[in-house]
Amino acid sequence: MRQVAVLGATGSIGRSTLDVIQRHPNRYRATVMAAHRSVDDMEALCRTHRPLHAVMGDPQAASVLAERLADVPSVAVSSGAEILDDLVADAAVDTVVAGIVGFAGLRPTLSAARAGKIILLANKEALVSAGGLFMEAVRTGGATLLPVDSEHNAMQQCLPVDLEGRPNMSDVEKIILTASGGPFRGRSRASLDAVTPEEACAHPNWSMGRKISVDSATLANKGLELAEACWLFDRRPEQIEIVVHPQSIVHSMIRYRDGSTLAQLGQPDMRTPIAYCLAWPERVDAGVAPLDIVAAARLDFEAPDLEAFPCLALAQWAITQPGGMCVFSAANEVAVAAFLAGDIRFTDIDKVIAGTLQGIDLVEPESLDAVQALDQAARDVADKQIAGCFTRPEA
């Protein structure tokens, strides 16, 4: 029986993970579940999955949850970063699903790496902000790192891997990272000024949390994924080609030196990569409908439009700078939250990121403290950009 800690249990990744776990009650059990403050959702999930521990990021939410679950004494409710660090490192957990959104997911994921757990990584922001530190923790802790992000999962599936899940890159010429292009593919930058959060979150192919949905719409997500692929597969950015593929059926490709290109195809449903990682090196049913290739009929590919979507170009520059992606990711988080709150326009997101990258001394953070300090400094600069430079869009 695999004991799984599901971090971000109430989110899109968390729910997809719990759905796969529920299909295989003799193989997997969610023993730890963590979320931020959505008490109603967490209560319902705890009643269904009966974890040993439920951890809320928000202390107030934890006390409400504890009251609500008074009739289920087997679930211990708690709150706090230290408690979560200890729980994911505990011997009672062997697999950790990193499904918290944003920089907040870094600490528990690092703790899992140091403790040598099997890590199913969805939280790309943690890797992007602290890549060197995180990969070092995976190596020294003896952790197994399996990418859940659909593109990186596709890459992993198209590569020879050793018994620890480490890919062998020796004959690889290029990684081809596919992008859906998001809901605004084909539109001009000028036409994007007035788009609403609802429009930005209406992804044509995937159902995801709001932050990553906006990232998909700006193509910032592909910038984060470029950095993610560099860390996971030990590549330089120029060894990775980004191609827009609007159908989201080919999830990425690996081109080998002999001219062969391998691709992984599937429905745009995160339960497939999650099930792959949970069961690896075996395969289990994920509850996903089989891909009907005749019905899909067409697979289109085109170059990304960097003029309409400058976030990707900004990421391609930031990735070459020391600490650049830590700053990019922090500024992006702040800007996306402001856009979702109605405080800035969609087209202000890249301006906030660009202003933050310009307004900060870029240095390579060598420790967790340094990463946290650089992240916070970037957030402060990004907040100033938002407060000083932009006015609230018309309602």
- Partner whose binding site includes residue 372, from ligand NAD, Mg ion, none (CB under 5 to 8 Å by kind): none
Give yes or no for residue 223 binding ligand NAD (CB under 6 A). Answer: no
Contact 143, 243 (CB under 8 A): no
Contact 287, 200 (CB under 8 A): no
Tell me the β-bridge partners of 240. 175
Give yes or no for residue 336 binding ligand NAD (CB under 6 A). Answer: no
Q: Which amino acid makes up residue 125?
A: E
Give yes or no for residue 325 binding ligand NAD (CB under 6 A). Answer: no
- Partner whose binding site includes residue 305, from Mg ion, ligand NAD, none (CB under 5 to 8 Å by kind): none
Q: Which of 3, 4, 11, 227: binder of ligand NAD (CB under 6 A)?
A: 11
Number of residues that bind ligand NAD (CB under 6 A): 27
User: In 10 A of CB 77, how many CB atoms?
Assistant: 23
Least Cα distance to 166 among 177, 155, 174 occurs for 155
* Cα–chain center distance at 344: 23
**Cβ neighbourhood burial of 181 (10 Å; 0-12, 13-18, 19+):** buried
Contact 128, 232 (CB under 8 A): no
Footprint of Mg ion on 139-168 (CB under 5 A): 149-151
- Do β-strands 118-121 and 53-56 pair in parallel, antiparallel, or remain unpaired? unpaired
* Cα–chain center distance at 160: 23
Footprint of ligand NAD on 146-165 (CB under 6 A): 149
Give yes or no for residue 214 binding ligand NAD (CB under 6 A). Answer: no
Contact 153, 251 (CB under 8 A): yes
Q: Which stretch binds ligand NAD (CB under 6 A): 10-18, 287-295, 337-345, 386-394?
A: 10-18
CB nearer to ligand NAD: pick between 15 and 255: 15
Q: Which of 9, 64, 336, 377: binder of ligand NAD (CB under 6 A)?
A: 9
* Shortest CB 149 distance to Mg ion, Å: 4
CB nearer to ligand NAD: pick between 268 and 365: 268
Q: Which of 32, 101, 155, 327: binder of ligand NAD (CB under 6 A)?
A: 101
- Partner whose binding site includes residue 208, from Mg ion, ligand NAD, none (CB under 5 to 8 Å by kind): ligand NAD
Footprint of ligand NAD on 32-61 (CB under 6 A): 34-36, 38, 57
DSSP assignment of 274-316, as one string?
A: HHHHHHTTS----SPPPP-HHHH-----B---TTT-HHHHHHH
Give the residues lining the site for Mg ion (CB under 5 A): 149-151
